[in-house]
């Protein structure tokens, strides 16, 4: 019966499941789970507790995760709060929960041991990471946000947690040149669906993680027989791939063809992809207009 649940979205295994599934599956034991916060800058999420398996996705600093099992080998199995993704993470990257007040809006920003850019950085955070600001400081005219863990970030690289971009596609365009990384979900490297998810998140949209989920669940399906009718922000899908319409005859996507986030003429992309295993366009979807837009 556990085979009927998508492993990426349901904390259900043959030997263990979340307590919420007690009346839905048969398994050896049910666990309530414990909520942690991602304390690493980025934390790989894998389908199995093995370093030789490619990653499914990445968790970003400040995101919450409900952990249902931790192993003596240092692995933790749980479900991310941001998009419900389930997988194995390193226990070393988990920490105590705190309520986030801000998120990173710059593509990436350094985290320092104190409010001074001359200090050796402790790490680098990607856009979408969440932090708890506990105070402010200024050094040589530059303002810093002092975080609850004692580190500091350049204040202008943050926005309040509830902030929303009016043009989320413009956020996606800032990623141009970012390396393609299968399973990546940060501005240091990401795949096609992560580009859509992170940029749309800045615009106030909570989208699922993978392209097949986005193709099934996001917005409304619209006709795509006339490319001239497509609007900026429409999502175009092929089997296993998603791209963003940015303008007439133009798409933006994290592409395994260029191995970067890149613009491409739509007509050329359609012809090129049709010759590959991904084939023809499968669907186009349009996101709803949010309140206040």
Residue 282, both tokens: 């499968």
pLDDT tens digits along 47-80: 999 999 999 999 999 999 999 999 999 999 999 9
- Tell me the DSSP string of 21-77: GTTT---S-EE--EEEEE-SSEEEEBSSS-TTSPPSEEEETT-EEEEEEE-TTSEEE
What is the CATH number that goes with domain 2-95? Answer: 2.30.30.40
Q: How far apart are CA 55 and CA 184, in angstroms?
A: 8
Cβ(61)–Cβ(39) below 8 Å: yes
SS3 for 156? helix
What is the pLDDT at residue 4? 86
Regarding the domain delimited by 102-160, which CATH topology (the fold level of the hierarchy) does it fall under?
SH3 type barrels. (2.30.30)
pLDDT tens digits along 105-155: 999 999 999 999 999 999 999 999 999 999 999 999 999 999 999 999 999
Q: Give me the residue label for tokens 């991310």.
A: 80
What is the pLDDT at residue 2? 65
Domain residue spans of the chain = 2-95, 102-160, 168-286
Q: Which of 77, 66, 71 is nearest to 35 (CA)?
A: 66
Rg, the chain, Cα only: 20
User: Do the first three CATH levels of 2-95 and 102-160 match, i.e. the same topology?
Assistant: yes
As a residue count, the chain comes to: 293
Q: How far apart are CA 235 and CA 169, in angstroms?
A: 11
Q: Give percent above pLDDT 90 in the chain.
A: 95
Flag whether pLDDT at 270 surpasses 70: yes
pLDDT tens digits along 172-219: 999 999 999 999 999 999 999 999 999 999 999 999 999 999 999 999
Architecture of the domain made up of 168-286: Alpha-Beta Complex (3.90)
Q: How far apart are CA 209 and CA 192, in angstroms?
A: 10
Flag whether pLDDT at 245 surpasses 80: yes
């Amino acid at each position: 019966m556990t085979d009927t649940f998508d492993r990426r979205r349901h904390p259900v295994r043959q030997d263990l499941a979340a307590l919420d599934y007690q009346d839905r599956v048969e398994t050896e034991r049910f666990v309530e789970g414990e909520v942690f916060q991602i304390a690493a800058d980025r934390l790989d999420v894998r389908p199995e507790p093995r370093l030789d398996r490619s990653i499914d996705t990445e968790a970003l600093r400040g995101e919450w995760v409900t952990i249902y099992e931790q192993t003596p080998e240092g692995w933790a199995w749980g479900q991310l709060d941001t998009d419900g993704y389930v997988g194995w993470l390193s226990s070393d990257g988990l920490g105590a929960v705190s309520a986030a007040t801000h998120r990173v809006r710059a593509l990436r920003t350094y985290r320092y041991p104190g409010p001074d850019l001359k200090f050796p950085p402790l790490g680098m955070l990607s856009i979408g990471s969440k932090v708890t600001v506990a105070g402010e400081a200024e050094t040589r005219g530059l303002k810093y946000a002092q975080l609850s863990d004692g580190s500091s970030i350049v204040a202008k690289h943050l926005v309040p947690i509830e902030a929303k971009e009016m043009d989320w596609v413009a956020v996606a365009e800032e990623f141009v040149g970012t390396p393609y990384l299968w399973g990546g979900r940060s501005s240091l490297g990401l795949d096609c669906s992560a580009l859509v998810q992170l940029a749309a998140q800045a615009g106030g949209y909570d989208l699922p993680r993978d392209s097949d989920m986005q193709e099934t669940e996001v917005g409304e399906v619209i006709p795509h027989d006339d490319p001239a009718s497509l609007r900026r922000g429409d999502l175009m899908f092929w089997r296993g791939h998603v791209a963003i319409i940015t303008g007439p005859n133009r798409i933006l996507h994290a592409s395994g063809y260029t191995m970067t986030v890149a613009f491409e003429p739509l007509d050329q992309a359609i012809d090129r992809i049709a010759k590959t295993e991904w084939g023809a366009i499968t669907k186009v979807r349009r996101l709803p207009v949010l309140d206040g837009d």
